[in-house]
A and B are shown apart, each in its own frame.
Chain A
Amino acid sequence: MLEALRSAFPDNASIQQSLDLIVMDVAPADLIAVATELRDNDTLAFSQLSDLAGVDYATYGHDEWATDTENNASFSRAVNAASTGSLTFNTGLELPASDRPRFLVAYHLLSLDHNMRLRLRCAAADDAMPVIPSVIAIWNNANWYEREAFDLFGILFDGHPDLRRILTDYGFTGHPFRKDFPLIGNVEMRYDSVKERVVYEPVSIEPRVLVPRVIREDSRYVAGETPKKDDA
C-alpha cells in the first residue's frame, strides 16, 4: 500500500508509515485532486471517510510547569503559568509564537477493499482565516464533520453548502476548542425569576487546575523508537 501511494503521488515526500496506518500531508490547493485520486484509484480505493478532526497547534509542546530547571518554589511554579495553558483560564495570555501553521485538519480514510487506513493531513495556510477546501463531493459524510470543525475551531471549508454551527448553542460566539478559549467558557446561563427569562452572564466560578500539564523528557521514548522495558 505504501508503494501504491508513492507511485500514485510521486511528488509527495511526506508519505510514511506511522504505527498501524499511513500518514500523508497535503497542501490545501492539492487536497481535492489528491482526495479524488485516493478514492477512485483502484489500488488505493479509500471509499470511506472515517473521521475528520480539526486540530489547533497553538500551544503544542508547551507545558504549564517548567521541568528543565529546579528551584525551591515547586508549588508556585505550578500555579504561575509558564505559558498559555489552561492554568488561569485567562484569555489575556498571549499565545506562544510558533512557525508551524496553527490549524490542521486530519482526515482518517478507510479502504475496505485493501483493509487499510490512511491519515491525510491538511494544514491551513493562514492562521487568522484558515480556509480548507471542502471534500463533501468526494465523501458525502464530510458535511457534518466539516460543520463540527468549523464550529469548534473556526476552520472555514471552501465550497461547503451549509456551513452552520452544529454542536454549540444557538447564538454562540467564539470557537470553543481553540487553545485560547477558556475551559470554563466566557458566559454562564441561568433563569432570572424577575425578568422571567433565561439570562447570560460572565462566568463566576473560579478556575482551578488539579494537575498541571507537564512534558517529561523520557529516555524511553527517544524519537521514533518504541519504548523499552526498564528494570527500575
Chain B
Amino acid sequence: MPEIRNYTLNFGPQHPAAHGVLRLVLEMDGEVVERADPHIGLLHRGTEKLAESKPYNQSIGYMDRLDYVSMMCNEHGYVLAIEKLLGVEVPLRAQYIRVMFDEITRILNHLMWLGAHGLDIGAMTVFLYCFREREDLMDCYEAVSGARMHATYYRPGGVARDLPDRMPQYEASRFTSKSAAAKLNETRQGSMLDFIDDFTQRFPKYVDEYETLLTDNRIWKQRTVGIGVVTPERALQLGFTGPMLRGSNVEWDLRKKQPYEVYDQLDFDIPVGTNGDSYDRYLVRVEEMRQSNRIIKQCVDWLRVNPGPVLTEDHKIAPPRRGDMKGDMESLIHHFKLFTEGFCLPEGEAYAAVEHPKGEFGCFLISDGANKPYRLKVRAPGFTHLASLDEMARGHMLSDVVALIGTQDIVFGEIDR
C-alpha cells in the first residue's frame, strides 16, 4: 500500500474562489486540511497612510475603496469619527438618508455575498438573480451621487446633497433594445423615493426566490450544514462581529446596542443563528436583507413628509451654498478656506464604529489639531474573520475551504487596506 504523504497546497492568489487576492498555503493530509495559512496584503494600498497626507474630506473617497461592495457604510464609519471629534450636529433628514443608504448598502453587500457564495459552491442561478437586483440599487447610488459604486456621498455634518426628484433614465443602445429600455424606465418615472418605495415592494418576493433556490436545497445544505462551526465563546475570542457573531448565537448588533443616527427610532429585528455553522450564517444574512428592506421602507416614508437641510449649516465644516458665495464675502472666505486647506479637528482621539454589513467597521482617529489626521486606523471586520480561517478550516476537506471563504464574506479591499 503506498504511503500517504502530507503536502502543501498553494491556493490563489489568482483563483476565482479566493474572492480577490487571497493566497492560502494549505497543509493537507490527503484531502483534509491540517493547517491553513492565509497570506494577505496583495491589495495593500496604505489607505491609512494616504489619509494622513490629505485633508479630512479628501479621504472620504478612499473609504469607498476599502470594502468595495459596501461603499457607503465605510464612509459612514469615517465621517462618524470626524463628527465625534468635531461635535458637529447632523440634520435629522441627513441621518435618515444615511440610514437608508446604509441599509441599501447592506442589501447590496449581502446580494453580492449570496451570489458569490452560491457560485463558489455550485449554484449558478442565484448569482444571476442577485445581480439583477443589484442593478436597481446601483442606480440609486448613481442617482444620488453620480457614481454607481464609489459614491463619496457622506460628508462630515451630513450628506453631499439631497435626494434627486428624478431617476436617471435608460436609453436604447446596442445592449438595450427600445422595449427593454422602456420596461426598465417604467419604475423610474417618479422621484428617487418612488423608485426605492417600489423596490421595497418587490424585494421580499425576490428574497423568496433566492430561498426557493437554496434554503431547502439538498446540495446547498450538504455543503453548508455543519461546516465551519464556531461556538459563541470562540466567536468572541476570535473577534467575530456582525453576521459571523450572530450566526454563532450571540445577539449583538451595534444598530440596537449602541444605536447611532436614527436606528433607535426604527423598527427592525436582529436574526441570530443557533448552530454557528455556515448554513446558519446564510440564514442570518438572508433575514438581514428582509429586515433592511423594512428599515428602508420606514426611511422612505419619513423622508417623503419631512423636507429639510441635509448638511450642517456650520460653514467651517461644510461649504456654503454656491449662490451665497457670489454675494457674501464671509461665504466666499469659508469656501476658499475649506477647499484649499480643509478644516482642523480639535486635538484628541475618537473611535467610531458602525454595523457594517460584514461586522463592526471602526475608525480610530487621532488628531493633533491639524487639517489632516495624525493617525487613522481602520478596524476592518474581515481582517479578524479571515484570521480565524485556520481554526475554522482545520479538519475540513479542501472543498470546504471554499465554502468557508464564502461564508466569511471576504473582501480584500478592507482586509489589506
Chain A contacts to B: CB under 8 angstroms: 18-21, 23, 47-51, 53, 55-56, 60-61, 63, 86, 106, 108, 112, 115, 117, 119, 139-141, 143-145, 148, 165-169, 176-177, 183, 209-211, 213-216, 218, 220-221, 223, 226-227, 229-230, 232
- Further pairs besides A115-B258, A183-B49: 15, Cβ < 8 Å: A18-B348, A19-B84, A20-B84, A23-B349, A50-B379, A51-B379, A86-B53, A108-B351, A144-B387, A167-B417, A213-B372, A214-B341, A216-B371, A227-B86, A230-B316
B262 within 8 Å of A (CB atoms): no
Contact of A55 among B258, B360, B375, B384 (CB under 8 A): B375
* Interchain CB contact (< 8 A) of B360 among A50, A226, A230: A50
A216→B368 CA distance, assembly (Å): 10
Task: Decide if B370 is an interface residue (CB 8 Å cutoff).
Answer: yes
Which residues of A are found within 8 Å of B379, using beta-carbon distances?
Answer: 50-51, 108
B377 at the interface (CB under 8 A from A): yes
By the criterion CB–CB under 8 Å, are B370 and A48 in contact? no
Q: With A19-B84, A55-B366, A168-B41 known to touch, is A112 a contact of B46 (CB < 8 Å)?
A: no
Per DSSP, chain A at the interface is: loop
- Per-residue interface assignment for chain B, residues 361 to 376, with 1 indicating a CB less than 8 Å from any chain A CB and 0 otherwise: 0101010111110110
Q: Given A49-B239, A53-B364, A140-B237, A18 and B349 touching (CB < 8 A)? A: yes
Of chain A, the residue at the smallest CB distance from B239 is A141
Contacts known (A50-B360, A55-B375, A232-B330); A139 close to B369, Cβ less than 8 A: no
Say if the beta carbon of B138 comes within 8 Å of chain A: no
Give A176 to B371 CA distance when docked, in angstroms.
22
Do A143 and B387 touch across chains, with their CB atoms under 8 A apart?
Answer: yes
- Residues of A within 8 Å of B92, CB to CB, are none
Q: Which of A47, A168, A220 is B44 in contact with, Cβ under 8 Å? A: A168
State A167–B370 Cα separation when bound (angstroms): 28
Given A48-B236, A221-B347, A213 and B49 touching (CB < 8 A)? no
Q: Please tell me if the beta carbons of B374 and A60 are within 8 angstroms of each other in the complex.
A: yes
Alpha-carbon gap, A51 to B371, bound state (A): 25
Assess A209 versus B53: contact at CB under 8 Å? Given A115-B258, A139-B239.
yes
Judge if B186 is at the interface, Cβ distance under 8 Å. no
Whether A213 and B346, one on each chain, are in contact in the complex, defined by CB atoms closer than 8 angstroms, is no
Docked pose: A151 CA to B374 CA in angstroms: 19
Q: List 13 A-B contacts (CB under 8 A).
A: A55-B375, A63-B370, A108-B364, A141-B237, A141-B388, A167-B40, A168-B41, A183-B49, A183-B50, A213-B370, A213-B372, A218-B346, A227-B88
Q: CA–CA, A113 to B366, complex, Å?
A: 28
Q: Which residue of A lies closest to B45 (CB)?
A: A167
A119-B237 in contact (CB<8A) = no
**A214 with B370, Cβ < 8 A, contacts A20-B84, A50-B353, A117-B351 known:** yes
Contact present for A61 and B369 (CB under 8 Å): yes
Q: Residues of B contacting A20 with CB < 8 Å?
A: 84
- B346 in contact with A53 (CB, 8 Å): no
Question: Which residues of chain A come closer than 8 Å to B41, judged between CB atoms?
Answer: 165-169
CB of B351 within 8 A of CB of A119, answer: yes
Inside 8 A of B238's CB, which chain A residues have their CB? 140-141
Please report the C-alpha to C-alpha distance between residue A119 and residue B64 in the assembled complex, in whole angstroms. Answer: 26
| Residues of chain B contacted by A177 (CB below 8 angstroms) | 46, 48-49
Which residues from B are CB-within-8-Å of A50?
Answer: 239, 241, 353, 360, 362, 379
Cβ < 8 Å to A, chain B residues 322-342: 330, 340-342
CB of B5 within 8 A of chain A? no
Q: Which residues of chain B are near A169, meaning CB under 8 Å? A: 41
Shortest CB distance A106–B (Å):
7
Contact yes or no, A227 B87, CB < 8 A: yes
